[in-house]
């Protein structure tokens, strides 16, 4: 077949790097080897370079190989390069140079800087001007999520935008959302944004005294209310559900104190806390023995 005595390999190179083209002869008979560019102009004829492009340099020349390097490769260098052997008839094979372009930059765009728990937010990640088109992957913490990608082509470059819709909860506050690129020209390219999620208070009532055991008539009772939220709750209050607060109950800040329990104190005591997002409560049921 045509070019049976010639061997070469395809070359894939990142833009700006060096491509090396090798034309090899299996069984040399001292025939002339030459290398042509995609326009079929001679780059090298033996060890002579007729083409006035100094980015092409001779790496190795012998009877059995012509090896040429091309520095600072650009997209315009892409295409088929021909190895020719001046036998009778001449033999020819081609090698293809493919140029990869890493994404220029990676940007996450958040539709809302601060979200409220239960809300859906939209994030967009854009990888500019790469070749081939980038694959974009999303992670929340270390859990992979699925976005929806769109590819735009500008001449021979691709810009990819991936859209992620995320329903956020309080556990997402401070968690990074990571946009990561899969591309043959680049390793470990990623960018991240930290989620900021507002949530209504979480309220907890604990019994300080008696530490354990029964709430007995004549003894004291002390309760404490703790509330956490984002923003931090400013307003906290104690009330008695379905009844008036007994006269002798002392409330100071988050603490509720009854110094001398009696049966009329029986009931449900509620601590309420609120912030800009909403209001929550926790209940304590008192039964006096």
Q: Give the domain CATH number at 252.
A: 2.60.40.10
Q: Among candidates 138, 143, 136, which has minimal Cα distance to 171?
A: 143
* End residue of a domain, out of 100, 121, 152: 100
The Cα 134–Cα 104 span in angstroms is 11
pLDDT averaged over the chain?
A: 95
* End residue of a domain, out of 139, 155, 188: 188
3-state secondary structure the chain: CCCCCEECCCEEEECCCCEEEEEEECCCCCCCEEEECCCCCEEEECCECCCCCCCEEEEEECCCEEEEEECCCCHHHCEEEEEEECCCCCEEEEEEEEEEECCCCEEEEECCCCEECCCEEEEEEEEEEEECCCEEEEEECCEEECCEEEEEEECCEEEEEEEEEEECCHHHCCCEEEEEEEECCEEEEEEEEECCEEEEEEEEEEEEECCCCCCCCCCCEEEEEEEEEECCCCEEEEEECCCCCCCCEEEECCEEEECCCCHHHCEEEEEEEECCCCEEEEEEEECCC
What predicted TM-score, i.e. pTM, was given to this entire model? Answer: 0.80
Note the residue count of the chain. 289
Range of the domain at 114: 105-188
Q: Over pLDDT 70: what percentage of the chain?
A: 99
Q: Among candidates 50, 42, 4, which has minimal Cα distance to 25?
A: 4
- Given a cut of 90, is residue 32 above it in pLDDT? yes
71 and 150 in a common domain = no
Count of structural domains, the chain = 3
* pLDDT band, very low/low/confident/very high, at 220 (cuts 50, 70, 90): very high
Question: Among the listed ranges 97-101, 103-107, 136-140, 209-213, which one has the minimum average pLDDT value?
Answer: 209-213
Tens digits of residue pLDDT in 126-161? 999 999 999 999 999 999 999 999 999 998 899 999
The CA-to-CA distance between both ends of the chain, in Å, stands at 104
- Given a cut of 90, is residue 281 above it in pLDDT? yes
Hey, what are 158's tokens? 């691709």
Sheet holding 19-25, edge to edge: 6-7, 19-25, 65-70, 56-61
166 and 229 in a common domain = no
In a domain, 195, yes or no: no
The Cα 200–Cα 277 span in angstroms is 5
80 and 34 in a common domain = yes
Asked if residues 231 and 250 have their Cβ atoms less than 8 Å apart, the reply is: no
**For 258-280, what is the mean pLDDT?**
96
Q: Over pLDDT 90: what percentage of the chain?
A: 89
93 and 45 in a common domain = yes
**For 17-27, what is the mean pLDDT?**
96
The Cα 28–Cα 6 span in angstroms is 10
- Given a cut of 60, is residue 1 above it in pLDDT? no
């Amino acid at each position: 077949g045509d070019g049976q005595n010639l061997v070469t390999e395809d070359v894939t190179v990142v833009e700006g790097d060096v491509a090396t083209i090798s034309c090899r002869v299996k069984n040399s008979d001292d025939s002339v080897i030459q290398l042509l560019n995609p326009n079929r102009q001679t780059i090298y004829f033996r060890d002579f370079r007729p083409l006035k492009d100094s980015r092409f340099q001779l790496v190795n020349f012998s009877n059995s190989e012509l090896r040429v390097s091309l520095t600072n490769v650009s997209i315009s260098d892409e295409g088929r390069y021909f190895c020719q052997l001046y036998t009778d008839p001449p033999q020819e094979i081609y090698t293809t140079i493919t140029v990869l372009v890493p994404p220029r930059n990676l940007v996450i765009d958040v539709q809302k800087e601060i979200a409220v728990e239960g809300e859906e937010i939209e994030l967009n990640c854009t990888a500019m001007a790469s070749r081939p088109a980038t694959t974009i992957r999303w992670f929340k913490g270390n859990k992979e999520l699925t976005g929806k990608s769109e590819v735009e082509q500008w001449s021979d470059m691709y810009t990819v935008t991936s859209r992620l819709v995320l329903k956020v909860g309080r556990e997402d506050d401070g968690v990074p959302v990571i946009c990561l690129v899969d591309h043959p020209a680049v390793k470990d390219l990623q960018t991240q944004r930290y989620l900021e999620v507002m949530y209504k208070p979480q309220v907890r009532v604990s019994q300080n005294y008696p530490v354990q055991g029964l709430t007995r008539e004549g003894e004291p009772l002390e309760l404490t209310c703790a509330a956490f939220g984002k923003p931090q709750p400013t307003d906290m209050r104690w009330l008695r559900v379905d009844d008036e607060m007994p006269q002798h109950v002392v409330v100071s800040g988050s603490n509720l104190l009854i110094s001398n329990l009696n049966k009329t104190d029986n009931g449900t005591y509620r601590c309420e806390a609120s912030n800009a997002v909403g209001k929550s409560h926790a209940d304590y049921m008192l039964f006096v023995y």
